[in-house]
Amino acid sequence: MESLRFLAFESGQEYEESMTKTRSLVCFVIAPGGLENLPLALAAGKSGATGIVDLEYTADFKSAANSIRQAVGTETARWGMKIAATTFSQWKSLLDELPNTLSAVFLTSIAPSTLREQVKFLRSKKIQVFVEATTLDEALAAEKAGADGVIAKGNEAGGRVSEETTFVLLQQFIAHVRIPVLAQGGIGPHSAAACYAAGARGVVLDWQVALFAESRLPDALKIRIARMDGSETQCTGRSIGSLYRLYVPRGSTVFSDLEKTEQKLISKGKLGRQAQWTQWIAENVEAEGNKKLWLIGQDVALAAPLTKKFATLQTLIKTIQRNAVDYCLKARHAKPLAEGAGSARVLGTRFPIIQGPMSRVSDAPAFAKAVADAGALPIMAVAMTADNELEQMLKNTARELGPRPWGVGLMGFLPPDFYANQLKSVKAYKPPFALIAGGRPAQAAELEANGIRAYVHTPAAGLLRLFLDAGVKRYVFEGRECGGHTGRFTSFVLWETVIDVLLEKVPSETARDFDLWFAGGISNAMSAAMVAAMTAPLVERGIHIGVLMGTAYLLTKEAVSRGAICKGYQERLLKSDHTDVLDSGNGYEVRTAPCPFTQTFEKEKAKLQSAGKPSEEVRGALELLNLGRLRIAAKGVAFN
């Protein structure tokens, strides 16, 4: 357990050394769509990356080997192949028939008992071995087996993915794994710099390059991809224990089959159901026509913008490699998250750190004072608080904080009359700052007119464009790594897309009027360094940045001693090594610490679904089940 002063980092000082190293960032490109897209993999190999042919779900191994041999021919560019460890024996006998320019193999769906033997054999052939890992245990197994590197495949990638996003998973791997780490999921010219700052040896691209000229994906799919923002993809298989992110074309019959298959397998034993689930996914990836599904990630949102911005695949790859070093050097020089820098200049705080509003947690004025004393901006969670309770909270906070800055967190989507009453109380006490979740430009303008600087929670790049046109200049960009109700997009995908919009639409002459808070998965020096690197072009233009954190504050001693949460709640958090996501359906997800209630939730969900209840009815019942649980847990009435 740490003091609040633990959070007073300065742009990741511990990682300045890695930010100044001039090592190059290695790029791999997995050509999406399988063997048919082999030309894209070969083009990547000629462009400064290593192109990877995706053979994970190929069933006709001999035919695939022949196709590769004919296509590669006398080409000298480096290339590799992605295969499932479960099919290694079939590929082992064919390796000598493949061109000797094969330089790398990506292994997926590993079996730790046979991994060492597989790695040893490939390395004897002078082939580098990289193991795809979605958990730390898988990464450690790869290290133990002697792999050349491990791929941190985050939740935003396509196919079998982690519950954790790339931003979080990469931090975990870098801290515990000694072999080189590659990052896959949400990678673009900005997020690649964040990976480099954390210590990643390389990055992996796939669906981001789907629209470049060399891609051989079907034209109909390319047209769809060009319109995608990533929200069209979904994760499935959580209840089975084997998570896949995929895209099912609208109107496809495979969608109903997917839901039925998942429900059917829930009752089976873990090992049996996971194997059958993987087999079902594989069969439908290889299917044709209306039965086919595509293992597309959220980062497909980057495909159209990248092809508009970069004329060739080679230009993209060179830019990613150059940005990785340049952004880190700029961040080290600017120190945007240092004492007195960035948002701190706007907020009047010691550090550009904001303690985010957490319902039934950020309602203790004594804790707000401790946050302010430590140099950050405390924000009181107004949430659903009303009448006398809200009045008392605001009054006590104003008395505790005195002249020091503080803010309130509002929910702009509440019923108009209820929100209006809350706003009346807020105006009376006039905190210097406000954050509006689900807010609109008109709501921000009303606060600004009353002398309260308003920040609008903006969960998508499309929404940012609208808000910029409406004149909003203060934003919060929070990825789905956050606790409580999560957004749709992961931090890397959200931040990558909004940075591009800001660079496009905010001119240098007005940049200093903008203040941006980044949130979701930020808790320490490494994560701060990643944000500083990724936002370097914004800072260079003159935009202020800060980091907003919630979960990190729950682990401080003051959170308990100042009455924000009870001791039992914190002890539960300290014992947790992961979080659970409670999915009510239709995009309503809540991130929570593992506890008995998560099991109650999943059982009730399965019961409602097996009874054939409509999705809206299921969601409503589950949201009602959630109601009041946070207050019980955080304040210690009972812990369920």
Question: Which band of pLDDT confidence, cut at 50, 70 and 90, is reported for residue 627?
Answer: low
- List of residues 6+ apart from 94 with CB closer than 8 A: 61, 62, 65
Question: Which band of pLDDT confidence, cut at 50, 70 and 90, is reported for residue 3?
Answer: very low
Confidence (pTM): 0.91
Q: Per-residue pLDDT averaged across 426-434, rounded?
A: 96
Extract the tokens encoding 583: 């999915």
Tell me whether residue 79 is exposed, middle or buried, using C-beta atoms within 10 angstroms of its C-beta: 0 to 12, 13 to 18, 19 or more: buried
Q: What percent of the chain is helix, strand and coil (3-state, nearest 5)? A: 50, 15, 35
Angle at 452 between CA 448 and CA 458, to 5 degrees: 70
Q: Which strands form 484-485's sheet, in the order they lie side by side?
A: 484-485, 588-592, 580-585
Angle at 308 between CA 303 and CA 309, to 5 degrees: 100
Q: Could you tell me the CA-to-CA distances from 312 to 43, 46, 139, 326 in Å, in that order? A: 10, 12, 33, 21
CA distance 355 to 371: 7
Q: Per-residue pLDDT averaged across 73-91, rounded?
A: 89
Task: Please state, for a pLDDT cut of 70, what percent of the chain lies above it.
Answer: 92
pLDDT at residue 527 greater than cutoff 60: yes
Backbone φ, ψ for residue 584 (5° rounding)? -85, -10
pLDDT of residue 12: 42
pLDDT of residue 525: 92
Q: Per-residue pLDDT averaged across 118-122, rounded?
A: 96
Name residue 453's beta-bridge partners. Answer: 433
Sign for the CA dihedral angle at 346, 348, 352, 357 comes to negative
Q: Per-residue pLDDT averaged across 584-612, rounded?
A: 73
Task: Quickly count: other Cβ atoms within 10 Å of residue 280's Cβ.
Answer: 17
Task: Quickly count: other Cβ atoms within 10 Å of residue 391's Cβ.
Answer: 15
pLDDT at residue 262 greater than cutoff 90: no
pLDDT of residue 608: 74
Question: Which band of pLDDT confidence, cut at 50, 70 and 90, is reported for residue 178?
Answer: very high
pLDDT of residue 416: 93
Residue of 192, 153, 187 lying closest to 169 (CA atoms): 153
Question: Which band of pLDDT confidence, cut at 50, 70 and 90, is reported for residue 596?
Answer: confident
Q: Helix, strand or coil for residue 571?
A: helix
Which of these ranges, 13-22, 236-245, 324-333, 382-391, has the smallest mean pLDDT? 13-22
Question: Which band of pLDDT confidence, cut at 50, 70 and 90, is reported for residue 325?
Answer: very high
Q: Helix, strand or coil for residue 134?
A: coil
pLDDT of residue 11: 40
pLDDT at residue 8 greater than cutoff 50: no
Q: Which amino acid, one-letter code, is at 14?
A: E
pLDDT of residue 256: 79
pLDDT of residue 227: 96
Question: Which band of pLDDT confidence, cut at 50, 70 and 90, is reported for residue 4?
Answer: very low
pLDDT of residue 1: 36
pLDDT of residue 553: 87
Name residue 151's beta-bridge partners. Answer: 132, 182
pLDDT of residue 605: 76
Each residue's pLDDT tens digit, 216-239? 999 999 999 999 999 999 998 888
pLDDT of residue 117: 96
Question: Which band of pLDDT confidence, cut at 50, 70 and 90, is reported for residue 180?
Answer: very high
Q: Per-residue pLDDT averaged across 600-620, rounded?
A: 73
The label of the residue with tokens 């606060």 reads 447
Mean residue pLDDT of the chain comes to: 88
